[in-house]
Amino acid sequence: MEEKQNAIEVRNLSKAFKVAYDKPTTLKEHLVSLGKRNQVERRTVLENINLDIKKGETVALIGTNGSGKSTLLKLMTKILYPTKGTLKTYGKVTSLLELGAGFHPDFTGRENIYFNASIFGLTRDEIDNRIGDIIEFSELEEFIDNPIRTYSSGMYMRLAFSIAINVDADILLIDEILAVGDQHFNDKCYKKLRELRDSDKTIVIVSHSLDAVKDLCRRAIWIYKGHVQLDGDPNYVINEYLNQIALDHKETRKKQEKEGNRKNRGIVFIDGPNSFTHFTPTKNHFVIRGWSLCDYEDAELRIFVDETQILDYIKISRPDVIEAYIQEFAGFIENDDVGYECSFDISTLSFGEHHIRVLLYDLINNVEITDKDVVFYYDPVEVI
């Protein structure tokens, strides 16, 4: 079997940035900056990175914010250059890094297609032949002759992605830009990316959507504190990544407790009933359901209808919530039963406005961590 050639080669790469202190302009700033004048701090973002990405591979770069994965992607595009080491790419490169990059806000979507595609190396004739496909994929036919300063962030992303996939690049680099699109267009984009993957294009993507990484990529590279921590099968790499996040979160909490500045964080959500729902005597009961998450072990969920606390509720499985918050609350989610559900006898209420309040309560310090409130109405007759 013939070994595939490399599309990207990274050797002994390091990247550092200079951080200069601003010149003080007030007396307070002068006092605070004593001893720091003219100092320049060097922050190393990536250190001694060595990678080979083969032609036709679809690779995800994963890691927490600030780990260096987006910097590595920018080095691949030659937007940045390494402080040490080398990075070589073999083939035509196109990228989707920052929203609106390569666009001029005062020109129309159609004009920006010509500008942006020419940056990626297409001639006028090539753009003429492809502009119909670009506009069709973006679904922006109605707005294509409007200045793009009038576009939403999602419309920017649609146009940028549509151009990038139509320039016939050998290497496609994507940095989390798909996160701003609506679900319909995101699904369409990932379908197109799967087609490109199967057509032997090289794709490198930075994403916090771990399920998308598992679905799209055949390889994941975990960047941790500027180093390659793990490189291999996405399922295994992601599992180890989440384990490390859990350990880091717990270490951070211990440090905060030691320093006396621990702040508990929680989220409470009420799925139903919706705010301003009207109930009538035709229904004796209604169901309250939702979910909660907290990074504090001694937190208690409490549910109230007006001043009446509901003690009889059940915990239910919510894998959708776990999927959305697994990175943020890693180490504090023991199982997936973060949902709650209970029933309330509405006939005990007087007619008029009422409130459902769900909160997380700190049992040690006797304070509320967070809460959510929903207003509903109990009407004597049905509201039409």
Tell me the mean pLDDT in the region 327-345. Answer: 88
What is 266-378's CATH number, 2.60.40.10, 3.40.50.2300, 3.20.20.70, 1.20.58.100? 2.60.40.10
**Tens digit of each residue's pLDDT (9 = 90 or more) over 126-151:** 999 999 999 999 999 999 999 999 99
Least confidently predicted of 123-132, 301-310, 330-339, 358-367: 330-339
Q: Provide the whole-model pTM.
A: 0.79
What are 147's two structure tokens? 């200045």
Give the 3-state secondary structure of residue 52: strand
- What tokens were used for 268? 């409470």
Question: How high is the mean pLDDT of the chain?
Answer: 88
pLDDT value at 36 more than 80: no
| Of 61 and 326, the one with more pLDDT | 61
Q: Is the pLDDT of residue 293 over 80?
A: yes
Report whether the peptide linkage leading into residue 273 is cis, meaning its omega lies within 30 degrees of zero.
yes
What's the pLDDT score for residue 100? 64
**pLDDT at residue 67, rounded to an integer:** 92
102: left (phi over 0), alpha (psi -120 to 50) or beta: left
pLDDT of 260 higher than 80: no
CB 61 within 8 A of CB 204: yes
Which pLDDT value is given to residue 283?
77
Residue 62's contacts (CB-CB under 8 Å, 6 or more residues apart) are 69, 206, 207, 208, 210, 213, 220, 221, 222, 223, 237, 238, 241
Rounded to whole angstroms, what are the CA distances from 101 to 97, 348, 371?
7, 59, 40
Q: Which pLDDT score is estimated for 208?
A: 86
Whether residue 384 is predicted with pLDDT greater than 80 in this model: the reply is no
Phi-psi label, residue 108: left if phi above 0, alpha if psi -120 to 50, beta otherwise: beta
353 strand-pairing partners: 377
Average pLDDT over residues 14-25: 78
pLDDT single digits (tens) 147-184: 999 998 889 888 988 998 888 889 999 987 666 667 88
Per-residue pLDDT for 209 more than 90? Answer: no
Mean pLDDT of 286-315: 93
- Whether 382 has a pLDDT exceeding 60, the answer reads no
DSSP 277: E
| Mean pLDDT confidence for 251-267 | 82
Nearest residue to 67 via CA among 260, 218, 227, 191 = 227
For residue 202, give the 3-state DSSP assignment.
strand
Task: Indicate whether 316 pLDDT > 70.
Answer: yes
pLDDT confidence band for 34 (50 / 70 / 90): low
Q: Quote the pLDDT of residue 90.
A: 94
Please count the other Cβ atoms lying within 10 Å of the Cβ belonging to residue 238: 21
Q: Which residue has the higher pLDDT, 275 or 284?
A: 275
Is 70 exceeded by the pLDDT of residue 321?
A: yes
